[in-house]
Amino acid sequence: MFCTHCGAQVSTGSQFCNTCGRPVNPSAPPTFSPSAQPSPTSYAGTIPGTPRVLYAGFWLRFLASLIDGLVLAPVVIVFVLILFAIAGGTLHMTRPEKGDPAVIVAIFFFYFLFYILMIVGNWLYFAMCECSSWQATLGKKALNIQVTDLDGRRISFGRASGRFFGKILSGMILNIGYIMAGFTEKKQALHDMIAGCLVLRR
């Protein structure tokens, strides 16, 4: 059975719709268009008894990113020290001559390896945390905010990955993509719009 007002599926015997809160009348003809069904967040806060949606703004999200940076910093430092130790050991074993092109190649190789591993590490951290039951990184969880899809549901790893790599575009345009979270209607940054996500306060 479906609600005749918003089109949401309603359990048999229910007197009220769990989505819009309106009385269910099984005998009334549908008044909604299946192609234009509103999302659950459309009614949030407008019907008595439904929770109000609170979007996380720019500064709250900025603070969460600072906390994530502090969490990840020790890992990065340890990783850099390990790479330097490996690079130093490699150069000591090969004992290249002064001005040897192999030294320059080795330096660029380790720099490139560091850069790639940092991207992969950050991607896995953000994507796996935001698609988990937490729906948040450690920084977001500390501030009681979480990432959802446009209907307030938990996102998949693929969507979380799209959101992460969308941040590249947000940063490329002078960080305007990030600043958009401060003035868009639903406090969405550019990468949120690209991935179809919301960042909500719990």
Provide the sign of the torsion angle of the four alpha carbons 145, 146, 147, 149, taken in this order: negative
Amino acid at 138: L
> What are the residues whose beta carbons fall under 8 Å from the beta carbon of 149, sequence distance 6 or more?
155, 159, 196, 197, 198
pLDDT of res. 77: 85
Residue with tokens 């459309």: 42
> What are the residues whose beta carbons fall under 8 Å from the beta carbon of 176, sequence distance 6 or more?
170, 190
Could you tell me the pTM of the whole model? 0.65
Query: Domain residue spans in the chain?
Result: 1-52, 58-201
pLDDT of res. 127: 94
Per-residue pLDDT for the chain (202 aa), expressed as one digit of tens each? 567 666 666 667 666 666 666 666 655 544 444 444 455 554 455 445 556 778 988 999 999 999 999 988 888 888 778 777 776 666 555 555 555 566 667 777 777 888 888 889 899 999 999 999 999 999 999 999 999 998 888 999 999 999 999 999 999 998 999 999 989 999 999 999 999 999 998 8
pLDDT of res. 100: 58
Q: What are phi and psi of 157, to 5 degrees?
A: -65, -35
pLDDT of res. 14: 66
pLDDT of res. 2: 65
pLDDT of res. 116: 87
pLDDT of res. 157: 94
Residues 38-43: contacts with CB under 8 Å, at least 24 apart: 38/6, 39/150, 39/151, 39/152, 40/8, 40/151, 40/152, 41/150, 41/151, 41/152, 41/198, 43/6, 43/19
pLDDT of res. 194: 93
Provide the sign of the torsion angle of the four alpha carbons 154, 158, 164, 166, taken in this order: negative
